[in-house]
Amino acid sequence: MTTSSPSAQTWPTSMAIALPDGREGRILAALLAVLALLLFWLACVAPVLDWYDARAQRVAAIEQRAAREEALIRMLPALKAAAGRAARLPERALLSGESDAVAGAALQEQVQGMAGSADAQLTSIETLPAEQAGAFRRIGVRVALNAQLPVVVALLKAIETAEPRMLIDDIRLTATPVGPQNVQLPLDAAFTVYAFRSGSSAEQTP
């Protein structure tokens, strides 16, 4: 009597998988096809699309950076011009001096020197009380002179372009009422010149 090994045994026909046919078979085949397409999309198409999307983002970032650099390059001439203007600003914008009195004396001496250069004879010059202006002390002198108009204009121009920076305020011009015809008469001119030094009133020595 011969016996067959377990591996040689066949499965009962009742355990075989029977695929449906007809309409149900077509539906199953369609579902399997859709599943296969979905798996193909997830395994092949989706990674490729993600790669293209990441590459497009990198290209867009590079283009934006290139646009910014191009804009900066176009701005270089304006920046160089601004740097040139800054280089031409006065090196000394404030009065020197550790007190209002010292700064006032320096301002008065400088105005007198500019008047001499403009051939203007000052009739009076008076130092005004200093005032606090923010973080600075405003130092002023009141100037009076008798001169022809071109001389007055030359002195005012010299003060406006002086270093340290000076401001002119309260200009008063009075013409001589009587004089020969066709003769340019001198004017009585008076104005205030202001300049600034760093410091505060609390720093002043009593």
Give tens-digit pLDDT for 165-205.
899 999 998 886 655 555 567 889 999 999 998 877 655 55
Q: Residue 35 belongs to what domain range? A: 20-89
Which of the listed residues 58, 89, 120 is the one where a domain comes to its end? Answer: 89
Name the pTM for this structure.
0.53
Q: Buried b / exposed e across 156-184, counting CB within 10 Å, b at 16+? A: bebbeebebbbeeeeeeeeeeeeeeeeee
149 alpha-carbon distance from chain centroid: 42
Does 4 reside within a domain? Answer: no
Q: Per residue in 37-80, pLDDT tens?
A: 888 777 777 777 777 777 788 888 888 888 887 887 888 788 77
**139/45 same-domain check:** no
Q: Strand, helix or coil at 173?
A: strand
How high does pLDDT run on average in the chain? 79
**174/199 same-domain check:** yes
**107/195 same-domain check:** yes
Beta bridge partners of 198: 136
Which of the listed residues 35, 61, 89 is the one where a domain comes to its end? Answer: 89
